[in-house]
Amino acid sequence: MVQYAPARLDTSFAALSDPTRRGVLEQLGRSDASITDLAEKFRMTLTGMKKHVGVLEESGLVTTEKVGRVRTCKLGPRRLEEEMAWLERYRQMWDARFDELDKVVLELKRKEKTDDHKNRE
């Protein structure tokens, strides 16, 4: 299995492991928002929201721009393609692994039947 930019996957999966941060991304998918808007929407202190936005910004999932006193947040340039690719490959591997185990179980069952049959003879 190819490793895609491991450090990037570390920061993006870590960014996605928090429900508020996932919620912020969903919100920014609907419209840009200031940190104050986001803090109100998620019933959080400004400091708390700034931290979450900082994590999202570091992972490239959000970009922010300060105009005057207002910092506006938007979705960043990352479309999470590498993360999708990793999960997709994991799923293929998982399916292959369980198919393989199914075959082993079937083979054992078949063998058991044959043995039973032989014992009865």
Beta-sheet strands, E only, within the chain = 33-34, 62-67, 70-75
Instruction: Pick the closer one to a second copy by CB: 6 or 68.
Output: 6
Q: Which long-range contacts (CB under 8 A, 24 or more apart) does 64-67 make?
A: 64/35
CA max distance for the chain: 91
Of 44-52, 63-71, 83-91, 113-121, the segment contacting a second copy by CB under 8 A is 83-91
- Within a 13 Å sphere around the CA of 75, how many CA atoms are in the beta-carbon half? 13
x/- letters, 11..40, toward a second copy (CB under 8 A)? x-xx-xxxx--xx-xx-xx-----------
Sole binder of a second copy in the list 70, 96, 106, 108 (CB under 8 A): 96
Of 33-41, 64-72, 92-100, 105-113, the segment contacting a second copy by CB under 8 A is 92-100
Residue with tokens 């938007």, as numbered in its chain: 74
Residue 104 burial (10 A CB sphere; 0-12, 13-18, 19+): exposed
Q: Which residues bind a second copy (CB under 8 A)?
A: 1, 3, 6, 9-11, 13-14, 16-19, 22-23, 25-26, 28-29, 75, 79-81, 83-84, 86-88, 90-91, 93-98
